[in-house]
């Protein structure tokens, strides 16, 4: 019976991973365009429009126009740049996370808890939260170098480079450019985002289901709703993580005038916050140009180049 249970858990793990991999593969062009937006690449000039409240504004192309632009430059297959390391990263992260959780449960088995017991159910919540937090952190750390490869492959679109191609070649290139630390570029804000999301989702789901919602069917929607809200709150950390993954990596996308060379992720956060860019890429359909006008000799220059960037190269 124990072997059957283990077998079913293995089947569930791999079937769930396979489904997620398929979804990631299909949606990759959207993710690709989103990453380019997050690192500040805006190759299409904004155009005059009005907001839903009737105010005049400058609109940027939505994600579908962006994908069309990518396809026009690199063709259909070019829309899938960086897909292989991305799928490898997700698979490694999912498997490591699951195996770590299983190890924690085997070393620290949970006591049987009656759902009516409020104090013990709170204890169960804390145990589950700590298990999920540790397993997720381990999965992210081990898979992060593959994420860095995927992001740098996508960022090559900005300058048309081919420095990062195969997995092994990219690992070597990262070491040449940044050393061992390059494999974990952007890791800290990513860990903070995932840990904060887990804290918000776990605590709010427990509190709402315990003290607010009594209907059992409605309780099943709490976690997904809170996950959406939590990822919205922690989204700026993801933008900073992606910027740091490509910053000063030998690509046009990671150096001035496209991007300043940051000393650390806090420096990146401070700059993006000052230029109102921490949420860029969060809206894929309605996007508005929010930076102040950029002028040189009273003439506009590309919006991806700001006064901050110009100062950094003087």
Which tens digits make up the pLDDT trace of 276-295?
A: 899 998 888 888 776 644 43
Rounded to 5 degrees, φ, ψ at 49 are: -155, -170
Q: What pTM was computed for the model?
A: 0.83
Q: 305 in a domain, yes or no?
A: yes
User: Considering the domain boundaries, does residue 4 fall inside one?
Assistant: no
Report if residue 1 sits inside a domain. Answer: no
- Residue spans of the chain under pLDDT 50: 1-2, 118-120, 292-314
Domain that holds residue 88: 12-312
148 contacts 245 by C-beta, under 8 angstroms: yes
Total domain count, the chain: 1
CATH of the domain at 290: 1.50.40.10
d(CA 27, CA 10): 26
Among all chains, which residue has been given the structure tokens 């740091």? Answer: 244
**Does some domain include residue 6?**
no
Q: Nearest-CA neighbor of 35 among 277, 237, 239?
A: 239
In a domain, residue 29? The reply is yes
pLDDT of 312 reads 36
Q: What pLDDT sits at residue 313?
A: 33
Predicted confidence at residue 304, as pLDDT, reads 42
For residue 3, tell me if it sits in a domain: no
């Amino acid at each position: 019976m124990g072997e059957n249970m283990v077998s079913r858990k293995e089947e569930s793990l791999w079937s769930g991973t396979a489904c997620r991999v398929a979804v990631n593969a299909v949606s990759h062009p959207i993710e690709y365009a989103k990453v380019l937006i997050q690192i500040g690449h805006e190759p299409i000039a904004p155009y005059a429009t009005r907001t839903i409240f009737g105010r005049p504004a400058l609109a940027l192309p939505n994600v579908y126009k962006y994908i069309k632009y990518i396809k026009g430059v690199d063709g259909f297959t070019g829309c899938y740049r960086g897909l292989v390391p991305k799928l490898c990263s997700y698979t490694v992260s999912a498997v490591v996370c699951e195996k770590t959780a299983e190890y924690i449960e085997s070393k620290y088995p949970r006591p049987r808890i009656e759902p009516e017991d409020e104090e013990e159910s709170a204890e169960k919540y804390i145990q589950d939260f700590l298990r999920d937090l540790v397993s997720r952190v381990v999965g992210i750390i081990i898979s992060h170098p593959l994420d860095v490869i995927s992001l740098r492959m996508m960022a090559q679109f900005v300058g048309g480079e081919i420095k990062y191609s195969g997995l092994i070649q990219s690992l070597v290139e990262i070491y040449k450019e940044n050393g061992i630390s390059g494999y974990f570029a952007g890791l800290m804000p990513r860990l903070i985002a995932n840990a904060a999301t887990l804290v918000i989702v776990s605590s709010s789901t427990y509190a709402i289901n315990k003290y607010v919602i009594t209907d059992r069917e409605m309780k099943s929607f709490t976690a997904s709703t809170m996950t959406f809200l939590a990822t919205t709150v922690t989204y700026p950390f993801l933008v900073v993580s992606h910027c740091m993954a490509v910053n000063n990596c030998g690509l046009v996308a990671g150096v001035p005038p496209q991007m300043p060379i940051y000393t650390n992720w806090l420096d990146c956060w401070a700059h993006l916050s000052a230029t109102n860019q921490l949420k860029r890429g969060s809206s894929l359909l309605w996007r508005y140009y929010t930076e102040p006008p950029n002028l040189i000799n009273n003439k506009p220059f590309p919006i991806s180049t700001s006064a901050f960037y110009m100062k950094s190269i003087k």
